[in-house]
Amino acid sequence: MELSVDQTPHAQIIRVNASRIDAPIALQFKEDMRALTTEGEGRFVLDLKEVEFIDSSGLGAVVASMKQLRSGQKLELAALQPIVEKVFRLTRMDSVFTIHDTADDAGVNEAN
C-alpha cells in the first residue's frame, strides 16, 4: 500500500497509489492512515483517483481512518472512480464524508 502526502495551503492531500483498497490490504491501509494523521490538524483529503476498486473491508478501513482522527482533524474524499462511487452511494457513506470531484478542487477551496 503506497500513500503519499502533498501539503497544499488549505489541506494535506493523501494520494493512494494503488488500484485497490480491499480485504488483503485494509488493515495496512488503516495503520498507514493512522501514522500519517498522528500529527497536523485541519483537513486531510484522501485522493482516490488511482483507486478503481474498493470492497466492504476497504470501505471499513476508510471509515476507521476517519474515526481514528483527533479533534481538529477532518477527513474528506476526492476523485471517486465509478465502482468506489457506487459502493459509497449504496452504503450511504457518501452522506458521511465531504466528497470532492478532484483533489485539486479540494486543495484549492476551503471546506464549507
Partner 1 sequence: MSSILSLCVPALGATTPLILGRVDAVLCKTRFEKTRDSVQIALAEVLNNVIEHGYRHAYAGSVAVNLSDENGVLRIMVTDWGQAYPDHAVPDGTLPDPTEMSEGGYGWFLIKTLMTDVTYERQLGANHLSLRLAV
Query: Which residues of this protein are in contact with partner 1, per CB under 8 A?
Result: 20, 22-24, 53, 55-57, 59-61, 63-64, 66-67, 82-83, 86-87, 90-93, 95-96
CB 79 within 8 A of CB 49: yes
The distance of closest approach from Cβ of residue 40 to partner 1 in the complex, given in angstroms and rounded to an integer, is: 21
The distance of closest approach from Cβ of residue 68 to partner 1 in the complex, given in angstroms and rounded to an integer, is: 10
Half-sphere exposure of 44 (CA within 13 A, CB side): 28
CB 44 within 8 A of CB 85: no
Rounded to whole angstroms, the Cα distance separating 99 from 62 reads: 13
Q: Which is nearer to partner 1, 55 or 104 (CB)?
A: 55
The distance of closest approach from Cβ of residue 26 to partner 1 in the complex, given in angstroms and rounded to an integer, is: 9
Q: Which is nearer to partner 1, 5 or 90 (CB)?
A: 90
Rounded to whole angstroms, the Cα distance separating 31 from 55 reads: 17
User: How do strand 42-47 and strand 73-78 relate by DSSP bridges?
Assistant: parallel
Q: Which is nearer to partner 1, 18 or 36 (CB)?
A: 18
Q: Which is nearer to partner 1, 96 or 108 (CB)?
A: 96
